[in-house]
Amino acid sequence: MKTSTDYFGAGEGDELIAEIFKEFREGLPERVDTIRSSLEALADGYDAEAAELFYRTAHTLKGTAPSFGADGLVAPSAVLAEIGKRWYESGELDAKSATVALEEVEQLSIAVQEYITEMEGKAAG
């Protein structure tokens, strides 16, 4: 797993890059909450706005995570983005993919916690 100090080496940029990594790390629970709450909103009935938010949040995380060394977040967010895209484009959601989405949100949440723990350990050490 890459950490902030794998980029740019030692030098004056370290503190800046470490701060950006920290902000990404600290913002992850909010991203997961957004995915989870939009999924909950969709469970009450299809809503295009919730479907778009679900899709875009997962898709953005899938694209951004690897640049922050959060490779473990890619697989669950990719599955969620794929499901969300289907829902958003079709204008409906099915029970089977909703069940998969729920499981993947939990996988994503676990992956986020593991990433945060590992990165905070490295930052402290």
Partner 1 sequence: MRVVLIDDDPDLRKLVKLALEFTAGWEVTAAPDGVEGIEAVRRVKPDVAVVDYMMPGMDGYEVCQRLKSDPDTADVPLVFLTARKELDEAKVQEVGAAGVVVKPFDPEHLADQLRELCGGEET
Residues that bind partner 1 (CB under 8 A): 7-8, 13, 16-17, 20, 23-24, 27, 52, 56, 59-60, 62-68
Identify which of residues 102 and 122 has a Cβ nearer to partner 1 in the complex: 122
Distance between CA atoms of residues 121 and 125, nearest Å: 6
Identify which of residues 67 and 99 has a Cβ nearer to partner 1 in the complex: 67
For residue 73, the 8-state DSSP code is G
CB of 69 to partner 1, least distance (A): 9
Identify which of residues 15 and 95 has a Cβ nearer to partner 1 in the complex: 15
Contact in structure between 57 and 101 (CB atoms under 8 Å): no
CA nearest 17: which of 26, 28, 6, 27? 6
